[in-house]
Amino acid sequence: MKITKISLYDLELPLHQPYLLSRGRTFTKFDSTFVKIETDEGITGWGEVCPWGSTYLPAFAGGVRAALAEIAPQLLGHDPREVEKMNRLMDRVLSGHVYAKAGIDYALWDISGKAAGQPIHALLGGAETKEVPMISSIHVDSPENMAADVERWRNLGYRRHSIKVGESVDGDIARIRHLTEFRQSDEIFDYDANGGWNPWEAIQVMNAVRDTDAWFEQPCLTYEECLTVRQQTSQALSLDECITGVREVVRAISDRSCDVVNVKLARVGGITRARWIRDICLEFGIPMMLMDMAGTVTNDSVVAHFASTLPENRCIGTWSCQDMVSVDSAPGQGARNVNGRLTVPEGPGLGHEPDEDILGTPFLVVK
């Protein structure tokens, strides 16, 4: 089997309502890029890359498209089923920019699954579950409004919530105390600063609420800052934005700097590289949250396949973007939110095909 054609599409994803993160970051839409890889045997694979704007991570839509335009011509004529070899080829063609390479990696796994007549999760070792618990995302607001938002997601079946903090020390202490009292016994509340605190702010907030059962995610921007916070606080800690690959995971385990790892598949380069992280975390008993950056049901389906391969006691849950955006790339197909759980597709490969009428005309075709 050989790659004969690669097409790239861009798709704007307006949000149903503005989304607020720490440090005053506001988002009203996302900008997604779709990858379609065609082969000489008539099998087609799909991938999607959708950074969370340009201020969340060192990734942005323009960078995705420039990187893919550089890489795509060099993949023609190669066997897409050789995913490890193809990832090494992409690294030789372009250093870094692993977030852009994730879209191609997803499409390679889609083709591999279709060629084998198996869903992606079967190629990854087998699914432990047919549905993955979902995590809501509660953006920064007043404590009362955030509690109301939790209640809204709770009524949709969610029992795990990512509570955004990182606005101000006093304000965040008030949010955490109010929402901790609001938490029900079977719920998980993760207070996520998305790197919005400096170490002094994080230490103040976390020590002020150490009498609660609150746990925290990515308090500061860098690994070194998070490690400083870890050494001066007592709560459980998850690392997210500073986990960019397997080396960072190995370092975190060695330093005992976290209790949970949040793996964003696109941020670490796709399924192929995320698989290494999964296996290391399982070996060392580190629970994981698994998600992509942003996007549509196409990205959610990738995550559903991957997350389903974790034992239940090692998967805290996944976050889905499809309910936040007003565009559906594959209506009625793929992984879907059913009562706060993400269904795992069972068809070959990804288990769905994006609607090309929705995607429109590709902005680049190489063949």
Please write the tens of the pLDDT for every residue from 124-162: 999 999 999 999 999 999 999 999 999 999 999 999 999
pLDDT over 80 (residue 95): yes
pLDDT band at 24 (very low <50, low <70, confident <90, very high): confident
| Cα–Cα distance, 125 to 65 (Å, whole number) | 32
For 136-161, letters b (16+ CB in 10 Å) and e give: bbbbbeebeebbebbeebbeeebbbb
**Catalytic site residue from 2, 29, 164, 367:** 164
Long-range interactions of 308-311: CB distance < 8 A, separation 24+ = 308/121, 308/127, 308/128, 308/129, 308/130, 308/132, 308/344, 309/121, 309/124, 309/125, 309/126, 309/127, 309/128, 309/278, 310/128, 310/278, 310/282, 311/128, 311/282
CATH 3.40.50.1100 applies to domain 122-343: no
Mean pLDDT of the chain: 95
Percent of the chain with pLDDT over 90: 90
Residue 125 in tokens: 């070792």
For domain 3-117+358-366, the CATH class is: alpha beta
**Domain boundaries of the chain, sorted by first residue:** 3-117+358-366, 122-343
| pLDDT, greater one: 356 or 324 | 356
pLDDT over 70 (residue 317): yes
Over the stretch 41-87, which tens digit does the pLDDT of each residue have? 999 999 999 997 776 677 788 999 999 999 999 999 999 999 999 99
Are 125 and 309 contacting, i.e. CB atoms less than 8 angstroms apart?
yes
Task: Check residue 69 and give its pLDDT.
Answer: 97
**Catalytic site residue from 36, 101, 114, 264:** 264
pLDDT over 70 (residue 94): yes
Are 294 and 326 contacting, i.e. CB atoms less than 8 angstroms apart?
no
Average pLDDT, integer, range 188-195: 96
| Cα–Cα distance, 112 to 351 (Å, whole number) | 12
pLDDT over 70 (residue 287): yes
pLDDT band at 98 (very low <50, low <70, confident <90, very high): very high
Task: Verify whether residue 36 is a known catalytic residue.
Answer: no
Say if residue 293 is exposed, middle or buried (CB neighbours under 10 Å; 0-12, 13-18, 19+).
buried
| pLDDT, greater one: 63 or 26 | 63
Task: Verify whether residue 85 is a known catalytic residue.
Answer: no
Average pLDDT, integer, range 89-118: 97
